[in-house]
Structure 1
Amino acid sequence: MKRLALALVATAGFAFPAWAGEQFVDATGFAVSGYDVVAYRGLTQAPVGSAQPAAVPGKASITADYNGATFAFATEENRATFLERPEYYAPQYDGHCAYGVSKGGKVPGNPNLWRIVDDKLYLNITENVVGFWEEDIPGNITLAEDNWVGIEPNEASTNPIPNFTSPAPVRE
C-alpha cells in the first residue's frame, strides 16, 4: 500500500508542469531581464570558479510569451528555437537564484551569473552566491529541487537584482 501511495505521488508530479509558478520579471518587464535564453547554449562556459561570458541581450521587437512572462531574443531564429521547446531553454526555478532556492527562498536570478548543468540553465543572484553554489553544485541542485516543490507556488520575487543594470532588451 505504501508503494502504491508513493507511485501515485510520483505520477502526480509528472501531471503538473514544473513551470507553473510565476516567472521572475524585473523592472525591464521581461523574463531574464530581457536576455536571450537560447543564446546561452552557444556561449562557451567558463570553468567553475571563473566568471561566465556575458549574456546576450534580446531585442524588444523579437519576443515570445511563456509561463506568464515575455522573453526577448537576439534573433528571429532564436525565438523560433525557443518556441519549439520553451521549457528546455527557460531557466530553472522560473528565473530565480538557484542557490536561493537551495536555501528555501525565491530571490532574483542575475542573467550574467549563469551556468548550464545537465543541460539546464541556472541563474544566481550575486558573485558571492555563485561561489557558495559552485562549492557543491550537485548538492545544491538536489536541495533546490527538494525545496522547489514547496516554494514554487509562492509569488515570484519582486526584489531588484543587486549591483545589476540591464541594457536589455535592446530597443530598436
Structure 2
Amino acid sequence: MRKILPVFFLALASVATAPAYADKAPIYTKSFNNLGAGGYDVVSYFKDGSPVKGDKAYSAEYMGADFIFASQANLEAFKANPEEYVPQYGGYCAWAMADGKFFKGDPKQWTVLDGKLYLNYSDKIQAKWKADPEGFIQSADAKWPDILNR
C-alpha cells in the first residue's frame, strides 16, 4: 500500500495540472445547446455583410455542432461547402487562439478577411485583433487544430 499511494498521488497531480483546454470540441458550442456560431447564420456574414440570426427550420449538423440559417438558400450554400463558411478555429476567439488559449467567439464580433470568418470574444478584444489580424492569424494557424488535444 505504501508504494501505491505515491504513484496514485503522482497520477492525480498530473491530471490536476493538465491544461484546462485539453480535448476541446473542434467547434465551440455553449453548455446547454449545440449551436455553432451562437445560432447565427454563418452564410449571412458573406452574403449580407452582417450576422443574421438563424431559424431552426433551416439547420445542418457539421462536426458535431448544429448550424442554423436564415433561409433555405443559405442552408443549401452551407451544405455545398461548409468549410467555406464556418468560423475559423471552430468559432473560438481568433485573438485568443493566437495566444494558444480558448475563449468563446461572439458572433457579433466578427471579421471576414480573405474569404474567411473570424470571431472574437468581445469588442475590446476585437479592437486588439484589428491592430494586426494577419499576424494573429499566422500565430493561430500554427496552433490550430493541434491545440485541441493538448
TM-score bracket, shorter-length normalisation: 0.7 to 0.9
8 Å CA contact 1:93, 1:152 repeated in 2: no
Unaligned regions of 5+ residues in structure 2, if any? 1-24
- State percent identity of aligned pairs: 34
Q: Which residue of 1 aligns with 2:82?
A: 86
Which of the two has higher C-alpha Rg? 2
Q: Quote the RMSD (CA, aligned, Å).
A: 1.7
Q: Which residue of 2 aligns with 1:142?
A: 138
Q: Which residue of 2 aligns with 1:17?
A: none
Bigger relative CO (Cα 8 Å, ≥ 6 apart): 1
Q: Which residue of 2 aligns with 1:69?
A: 65
The one-letter code sitting in structure 2 at the alignment partner of 1:63 is: S
Count of residues paired in the alignment: 126
Residue correspondence of structure 1 range 111-130 to structure 2 within 5 A: 111-130=107-126
Unaligned regions of 5+ residues in structure 1, if any? 1-20, 45-52, 155-172
Q: Which residue of 2 aligns with 1:25?
A: 29
8 Å CA contact 1:30, 1:72 repeated in 2: yes
State the SS of the aligned residue for 1:61.
strand
8 Å CA contact 2:89, 2:145 repeated in 1: no
State the SS of the aligned residue for 1:38.
helix
8 Å CA contact 2:26, 2:63 repeated in 1: yes
The alignment's TM-score, normalised by the length of structure 2, stands at: 0.78
The alignment's TM-score, normalised by the length of structure 1, stands at: 0.69
Q: Which residue of 2 aligns with 1:39?
A: 44
More helix per residue: 2
